Amino acid sequence: MNITVAGVKKEVADGLTVAQLVIDEKVETPQYVTVTINDEFVESGAFESTVLKDGDVVEFLYFMGGGQ
């Protein structure tokens, strides 16, 4: 199936989970990453159970914060 990850179209295996995609994409500091699929936010606890579908558009958002 085909999905789009961070603006790049990719062919991936059917049944790919968000958790596996995070590994495959070698996402740095995955503990700080939020994932959206088709603009919907995926709970971090649901990465293992969320299966991607053909045509999905995935974005990785890196937490940014700090304080004075």
Partner 1 sequence: MIRISESDYKKILAHAESVLPEEACGLIAGELTDDGKIIRKVYLLTNIDHSNEHFSLDPKEQLAAIKDMRANGFSPLGNWHSHPESPSRPSEEDKRLAYDSRASYLILSLMDRENPVLNSFKIDGDTAENEGLIIEK
CB of 9 to partner 1, least distance (A): 13
The residue ranges that bind partner 1 (CB under 8 A) are: 7, 28-29, 32, 34, 36, 39, 41, 59, 61-68
Let me know: does 47 contact 11? Beta carbons within 8 Å.
no
43 DSSP assignment: P
Q: Closest CB to partner 1 among 19 and 42?
A: 42
Angle at 25 between CA 27 and CA 51, to 5 degrees: 105
Q: Closest CB to partner 1 among 14 and 28?
A: 28
